[in-house]
Structure 1
Amino acid sequence: MGLRKKSNKNPPILSHEFVIQNHADILSCILMVFIVALYFQVSASFGSLFITLNHNITVNKTIGTHQYEDYNSLFTNGPKDLCFIFFYFLTLIIYHAVIQEYVLDKTNRKLHLSKVKTNKFNESGGLLAYYIPFFILALYIILNGYIPQINSLWIDYPTTILPWNVKIFFLLQIATWLHFYPEIYFQKIPQEDWSERCTYISLYVVFIAATYFLSFTKVALVLLTIQYFEQIIFHLSRIIHFSGKNEISKYGFMSWNIVFIACRLISFITLVLTFYFGLSKTSIPQINLVQQNFNTPIIRYNCMVAFGLLQAWLMWNFVNFHMRKRREKIGGDKKMLNFFSFKSSSTKNKNTEETKKKKRDSNRSKNPVSPISNHDNENNHQNHNSKKKL
């Protein structure tokens, strides 16, 4: 995801470079079709199908242990949610292009980073543009009374009736992580990074969509809040590190190490309390599609195992990351030791040669050879050669 170089030459229409450079403008034109449709009575229902929330119901009473007095209109999930996801899937691609061009690219030009660091900087910056607002929204929903107590995670199941902010949160989550797939193409991600990007994008899409359509929205909201808090600390520390403020980023990464382990532990405890102890009290033998109740032993245990394996996988990657860094550090220390040992041995050899040379010079100065003796030696050598010739 390097810096996009703007050239004066216009690429051919519908070529790859043309689509990459103008994808935000193309998608804006498509979105205008749905927005303009709202202005006409004939097509207003079609436009509202994509832009506004669907499957709304109106209730003015208490449902379960949760008070809905502040909400005049509530929603359920259904197939029309796919239209909402599609519209905001396109909108988020435009939002990402604006963040990339007017924030990340300008910052990269000032920092003068290498290609590898530029890719990581753009990844962290792009993810923070979604993590921070979603974390604030999730925290607002939780503190606003959607989950007043810890036992609300399983007492109110199935949570088929959702306030507007909860429903829009989950639909935007699905649209957000889906939009990262085309971003791999639009941002020109290096091919060696595709597998890593696609792995964590797919995990987010699958787990968020499953919890939304299986009515496990409350436990998913708590787990996402914990996950986003930990990711915000990591990516902020990485951006500070690439900005050249290594002292601040050092404390940031140290804090992230502690927060990461704490978040994995809290997430695992939440899973066990919800799926193993809480929901087992209201378990049903078969799925009830009318009430959207999926609290059967098979689904419950599979969800717990899947989420548990995800936490274990994250912890495994965390341990491998630190082990790799430690090996690199040890390897770097060994190279430095070898360098200094080689340097010291070379200086020792140089010193020994210098001492030998000094000894030879001192011996010559103590036993000087006279020029007469040198002349006699030369004469003797010449006489010896002449005798050989005779």
Structure 2
Amino acid sequence: MATLYVASTESYVGKSAVCAGLLRQLKDRQIDAGYMKPVSVSVTHTPEGAFDEDAAFIRESFGLSEPLEQIAPVLLRRTTIESILRGEQHDWAGAVQQAFQAISSQHQVTIVEGTNSWYEGALVDLSADRVADLIDAPMVLVSRYRTTLTVDAILSVQRFVGKRLKGVILNQIEETRLDFVQSHVVPFLEQRGIAVLGLLPQDIALSGIPVEDLVSELGGSVIGAEYGQGKIVESLMIGAMGAEAGLSHFRRRANKAVITGGDRTDLQLAALETSTNALVLTGNFRPQQSVIDRAEQRNVPIITIADDTLTAVERIENMFGHVRLHERTKLERFTKLMAERCDWARLDAILGL
């Protein structure tokens, strides 16, 4: 019976996706693998009850038989946190251990997914180091590589959890940074006892935002919603300059969403002359007919919202980088990427396979 605890340095680094990739690889090799997410701070509420959406998706995708309440036993809802702050006592560690024993006893390998960061869960004494100790599991860290500051975060986790950290998977590496990471970052981490178990390049099809998701997140009114079907927003640009400068600015990126004031007709038309997949207008203004007509010609949906530009930008930026696994095609694409780019011999050694 082997166990692997999958932690992350921050939110939206692809931790759930990595867990799914590990499960797929093990199952493809006829190794019976189970899964659990002991502590969830991202709880979805429905009329039927509360649950962890990622855990539910993985359970369904891999046909796991254990009940969801066992796979994700500790849900940190607002009411739960408030009760803790009032001083009420709960045996969260006991709940995790009981669920883990029930699941791990039924499988050759159990993949255990951590919280959104290595320190989350400390409020209930279930941060990454504590859970890994409770279940006596080696730890693999998932980190999104953006700059060398990523190395700081990885070394900080190593200092915090010690020898339990066996390696790291670097995810969402921009193509232009891959050579530097391979030639400089990898040797640096290896010399400090952190095995680099995978280098996963950025994949726009995974990290981009479907226009339908953008509409769902922002709300507001949509003109030409049908134009956005199947389109992916790869980046976000803000229009807050003159029209001439805006045209040059907007040409720098393809397949983007442009967010600008609802009264800036000049910038709206400039954005529509470039590769734009969605136009987001703030201030609850209805665009001029000339903008609507041009958007129709270019098959670009217009989303009008009441938010100011800064608020809208923050909401959209929070969506980027979050690999939303809840689509079969994305799951298959990511697991294939992991199969090609991870060092499975070293992962097997960590698991004792």
| TM-score band, normalised by shorter chain | under 0.3
Q: Which has the higher contact order (CA 8 A, sep 6+)?
A: 2
TM-score of the two chains, using structure 1 as the length reference: 0.19
Q: Which has the larger strand fraction? A: 2
Indicate the structure with greater helix content.
1
